[in-house]
Structure 1
């Protein structure tokens, strides 16, 4: 409770008192100077003030401390329409960080008309905006004609100080109603105001409960509407036309829609606590939309910019382009962008016969066979050197090579030896070869029994290496990626992203070799899987990691009055564990649990496929080898015939 004693200089005293109480914690206060109101603010504590003389704006004098040409060029480059009010207010908010404002008489409708535009165009924003409007009725053409506009409907912290005459000692302190049903007409009626205090300044002591007068508006909204833009996107938000309770759809002008979802539940419970009414708008049923440079847009975010909606959710990420012109809440959850990619096929080719041994082991086998051939050739050469010279080096080495090949394939030789040295080498070679062939046979049997799968593009790096096209229904899936800080893999994946409509994606999932975007929620569930039909899941698998992840938020219009309370509510929501509870509840109630488990299980390849019939593909390598040997034998035979005839 504060006391005010009005003295002879009435307006200075009244404005000083209320500015001290109402603007005490403001970063800076912008005052639009009016020559008829010659006053001076006298406060206990220093108050940073920005004086703006709107009568001199048209002159563009050299007294400006800021070069407005910089902001004009920025507006023109983005295609943003502006005037002096928009330009000056934007600069005042962005550069001086004005949070509180005082406007007088005929300035009030101009300020109310252009302040929202300035607040959108300024990248700096505040959650503590307060407004004081001062006018006298002797200069007014029509009662309360100054107090009309969207700002008086949408902002709770508005204080109006009026008097009958400029030198009057009687004042009315009023504020806007704010709570209760809103007026959504294009030509709204004058905003309802109620008097906080009326007093006569001549020796009358006035009191005003500064804290409770304004804050009580936000504690009980008395059914004030909050409009939510929504389309069906499980589990973040969903529409149902059968289950109660039913909400009013502003687009269809009917009351037959039920809304739910992990992001929607926060607003539903918030409105239970603060006594507000939920309305929905289903006019943008397919996309989140995007923002243009001139502060316009389409989809859900476009509806928020147009102030048709108060609340936009549905797995929305931290989009900087949207943040430039809107406000965002604290994070609602974590979402990872991943893909369903083609499952790996069983690897069958003519190289199947070579797969039991790795390349290095094959080289060791070749070296072993070469050493056997040399050992047999040298032993046979020296076997008869003391008896006869009938065995030359060439015939001995030929014997070594042929015998090694016969032993390697478990074939006998018709050569009879009486030398114990050659017999010993033959036995040793046979033992080595039988071990090699046994190990090879076991490896080949394992390969034919257990499937060998080709590499799938089921990780972020492999998706990039395979240069696989991945697709979604919106450009929003890559809007979150900051190209200035993204790594080369992520930039490469962006080049392979394509946008197709839902029907085309559903058709591609049955036949095409591409990835299909899904969202991995914070507690393990998957979103955006409805486009993939059940019979297409058998040829797809879930990636083992995320392409990228981001925190989801709700986007709201600039100067949304409930943002402070809603952010506090979000933090309490996470602290209590309701985020996990509602994700599991929504998924269990509206999503197919078997389908979810099937997709999650596809992340790990199931090798337990039972016995598989062998086909010609399993032996094509052996057949090719046999054909190669037969062709070589035929050519050799023809060569011998030709040589014999010669």
Structure 2
């Protein structure tokens, strides 16, 4: 009988050992299958087997990749088979741990970040094992790629020969400087494992979990521009931090959300750096996975931490991660303050419309009473209805304006009706005079668009420096008022807003912070505040968070830190302290006080505007008298004209 000698393969033993130690809490493990490695994983692990050598053969695919391929092409996303397959594996299989072999390692390390960005599903527990043997090594630099610099949970399993039983288990350094150009990727040995005897023959004192606790000065880059009190950027204060845009250490930073990261770095021994390359705007994200402004820098991994009162923007969330909510912010406006209500209608304002209707009814009853009484005053000398009606109409109007009549009556009934009418009219005129005096003495203000509903009713244009102010609004669930307000929003630059605030009847976007302060007011000059007032409510409000790149390794620790920070009450303390330190307290108080009208303005000189209604009424009376006089002249002329 012929005996076939089979070389033993210990890769299954060492990889199962590591999987049991690091992969047990994973949703699923994606294995990039390699034919040279005889690997059989433990059946207790949820596994997804992916063979990159057979990706061209689409007939055996379980998942229909064409739908995802069409989505990429429709959005203009550049992709290849690696990106397509890894994206689908992450999104549909929920792979959190990955195992790659030999020449697959550089391709996986290169395209995994693209796949993690394009997949809507994301995880905070990503771990990686890269296995290779020197015997099959063609490219000596297979351990390359951004993933080895940026991810802490990386294991490298190496053996000198394919059938070796001794394996070196290494991990990347991760901590320390992130200067990729000057420092090559560093690995250190964690363990040396004997797969034949299934034992660890050497082990260092370091563990992967220690990396995130002490970052040894690892840089965290913050994208920043001046937006108080969230973030503050100055060039004259001390101490300063390194600005990657300027290339030198000369920038002073502070702010409620900046200080949160500064304290986090004190606890975890990391170094704060800033990047002011694209300052002044939050930017946005395109459907093809690219962006501009602050968000674009986070998406490109030039920045690690995007802040500035950022709301939940779904377009950005699709390609990035968000921290826990840091605070609450409301979008409101400085709107034109109400003016004194001065017009010809002031004569009508002492009485409400219903009361004016009652006065008219009262006058009609007086006319009717006087007419009937005069008509039947003397049975022997009866008056005609026309004469009686003329008497009732003229006498009622004379009594209403406190004028006497030349008619002398000896009838007690007519005297009684005249006395009753006079008493009613004198009461009405006295009440009206008192109401008119009160209106002229106390200022009557017109309605201001200082609430969400009134801003919509007035159809007032409101403006801000970015489309981001309305990007948070979901048009599918917004109410009609909010949708109407969106139609009236306009984007203007800083210079235009400063000019508009001095004269235009517009609303200007400001931000109401969680504990009462108002941000985004620097564009409004002090002299412009005299004609503006703060709305009493918010157009809408949202919770604020920070945006970070996908697979940001500090996200879980940072979220826990945010929860402790909010629970301690430091969020309120820092807002008040930073607002008092860097923002003008007088301006803040002035803006907040503008919500309530200041009626203690003292005596006000009356001008022509106050009596314009009286003048118009007087002119109306003159015109009517003149027309009546002309009509009488014409009538008498017609009466005296001889008949031919």
Look up the SS of the partner of 1:277 in the other structure. Answer: strand
2:290 pairs with 1:296 = yes
Whole-angstrom distance in 2 between the partners of 1:379 and 1:41? 116
Once structures 1 and 2 are overlaid, which stretch shifts more, 239-248 or 159-168?
A: 239-248
Whole-angstrom distance in 2 between the partners of 1:263 and 1:567? 13
| Aligned counterpart, 1:256 | 250
Alpha-carbon displacement from aligned partner over 1:124-147 (angstroms, at most 9, x marks no partner) = 00000000000001222354x111
Q: 1:590 to 1:24 in 2, by over 3 A?
A: same
Whole-angstrom distance in 1 between the partners of 2:107 and 2:396? 102
Deviation of 1:200 (Å): 4.6
2:473 pairs with 1:476 = no
| Aligned counterpart, 2:345 | 351
Aligned with residue 152 of structure 2, among 152, 156, 172: 156
Alpha-carbon displacement from aligned partner over 1:579-603 (angstroms, at most 9, x marks no partner) = 0000000100000011001111111
| Aligned counterpart, 2:53 | 55
| Aligned counterpart, 1:97 | 94
Whole-angstrom distance in 1 between the partners of 2:484 and 2:85? 43
2:422 pairs with 1:426 = no
2:25 pairs with 1:31 = no
2:63 pairs with 1:66 = yes
Q: Do 2:117 and 2:320's aligned partners in 1 also have CA atoms closer than 8 Å? A: yes
Q: Do 1:22 and 1:210's aligned partners in 2 also have CA atoms closer than 8 Å? A: no
Deviation of 1:358 (Å): 1.0
Whole-angstrom distance in 1 between the partners of 2:402 and 2:156? 106
Deviation of 1:638 (Å): 2.2
Look up the SS of the partner of 2:49 in the other structure. Answer: strand
| Aligned counterpart, 1:603 | 595
Deviation of 1:617 (Å): 1.4
Deviation of 1:285 (Å): 1.4
Deviation of 1:76 (Å): 0.3
2:519 pairs with 1:511 = no
Aligned with residue 584 of structure 2, among 589, 592, 601: 592
2:21 pairs with 1:21 = yes
Deviation of 1:644 (Å): 2.3
Once structures 1 and 2 are overlaid, which stretch shifts more, 193-202 or 415-424?
A: 193-202
Deviation of 1:537 (Å): 0.5
| Aligned counterpart, 1:174 | 170
Whole-angstrom distance in 2 between the partners of 1:481 and 1:209? 55
Q: Do 2:285 and 2:295's aligned partners in 1 also have CA atoms closer than 8 Å? A: yes
How many positions carry a matched residue from both structures?
Answer: 632
| Aligned counterpart, 2:4 | none
Structure 2: gaps (5+ residues): 1-6, 639-644
Deviation of 1:19 (Å): 0.7
Q: 1:605 to 1:583 in 2, by over 3 A?
A: same
Look up the SS of the partner of 1:471 in the other structure. Answer: strand
Alpha-carbon displacement from aligned partner over 1:387-424 (angstroms, at most 9, x marks no partner) = 323x2222122111111111111111111111221111
2:626 pairs with 1:630 = no
Whole-angstrom distance in 1 between the partners of 2:614 and 2:575? 55
Whole-angstrom distance in 1 between the partners of 2:452 and 2:220? 40
Look up the SS of the partner of 1:59 in the other structure. Answer: coil
Aligned with residue 334 of structure 2, among 327, 340, 365: 340
Aligned with residue 639 of structure 1, among 631, 634, 637: 631
Aligned with residue 376 of structure 2, among 382, 401, 408: 382
| Aligned counterpart, 1:4 | none
| Aligned counterpart, 2:457 | 465
Once structures 1 and 2 are overlaid, which stretch shifts more, 189-198 or 171-180?
A: 189-198
Whole-angstrom distance in 1 between the partners of 2:389 and 2:202? 116
| Aligned counterpart, 1:574 | 566
CA RMSD of aligned residues (A): 1.6
Whole-angstrom distance in 2 between the partners of 1:13 and 1:536? 75
Q: Do 1:21 and 1:210's aligned partners in 2 also have CA atoms closer than 8 Å? A: no
Alpha-carbon displacement from aligned partner over 1:210-262 (angstroms, at most 9, x marks no partner) = 99711111111110000000000001101122222210001001111111111
Alpha-carbon displacement from aligned partner over 1:356-415 (angstroms, at most 9, x marks no partner) = 111111110011011111111211222212x323x2222122111111111111111111
Aligned with residue 82 of structure 2, among 77, 81, 85: 85
Whole-angstrom distance in 1 between the partners of 2:397 and 2:193? 118
| Aligned counterpart, 2:478 | 486
Look up the SS of the partner of 1:99 in the other structure. Answer: strand
Look up the SS of the partner of 2:357 in the other structure. Answer: helix
Deviation of 1:643 (Å): 2.4
Structure 1: gaps (5+ residues): 1-6
Look up the SS of the partner of 1:103 in the other structure. Answer: strand
| Aligned counterpart, 1:3 | none
Q: 1:514 to 1:195 in 2, by over 3 A?
A: same
Q: Do 1:148 and 1:190's aligned partners in 2 also have CA atoms closer than 8 Å? A: no
Alpha-carbon displacement from aligned partner over 1:540-597 (angstroms, at most 9, x marks no partner) = 1111111110111100000000000000000111100000000000100000011001
Whole-angstrom distance in 2 between the partners of 1:452 and 1:208? 88
2:143 pairs with 1:147 = yes
Alpha-carbon displacement from aligned partner over 1:57-99 (angstroms, at most 9, x marks no partner) = 1232x11000111111000000001111000000000010000
Whole-angstrom distance in 1 between the partners of 2:203 and 2:312? 40
Deviation of 1:470 (Å): 0.6
Once structures 1 and 2 are overlaid, which stretch shifts more, 500-509 or 203-212?
A: 203-212
Whole-angstrom distance in 1 between the partners of 2:384 and 2:242? 104
Deviation of 1:608 (Å): 2.1
2:318 pairs with 1:324 = yes
**TM-score, normalized by length of structure 1?**
0.96
Alpha-carbon displacement from aligned partner over 1:7-29 (angstroms, at most 9, x marks no partner) = 96421111111111110100000
Deviation of 1:39 (Å): 1.5
Deviation of 1:492 (Å): 1.1
Whole-angstrom distance in 1 between the partners of 2:173 and 2:628? 106
Once structures 1 and 2 are overlaid, which stretch shifts more, 375-384 or 508-517?
A: 375-384
Q: Do 1:335 and 1:519's aligned partners in 2 also have CA atoms closer than 8 Å? A: yes
Whole-angstrom distance in 1 between the partners of 2:120 and 2:144? 26
Q: Do 1:147 and 1:190's aligned partners in 2 also have CA atoms closer than 8 Å? A: no
| Aligned counterpart, 1:131 | 128
Whole-angstrom distance in 1 between the partners of 2:488 and 2:213? 50
Once structures 1 and 2 are overlaid, which stretch shifts more, 101-110 or 460-469?
A: 460-469
Look up the SS of the partner of 2:171 in the other structure. Answer: strand
Q: Do 1:544 and 1:603's aligned partners in 2 also have CA atoms closer than 8 Å? A: yes
Deviation of 1:457 (Å): 1.1
**TM-score, normalized by length of structure 2?**
0.96
Look up the SS of the partner of 2:510 in the other structure. Answer: strand
Deviation of 1:208 (Å): 8.1
Whole-angstrom distance in 2 between the partners of 1:75 and 1:152? 27
Deviation of 1:41 (Å): 1.5
Once structures 1 and 2 are overlaid, which stretch shifts more, 286-295 or 197-206?
A: 197-206
Once structures 1 and 2 are overlaid, which stretch shifts more, 34-43 or 514-523?
A: 34-43
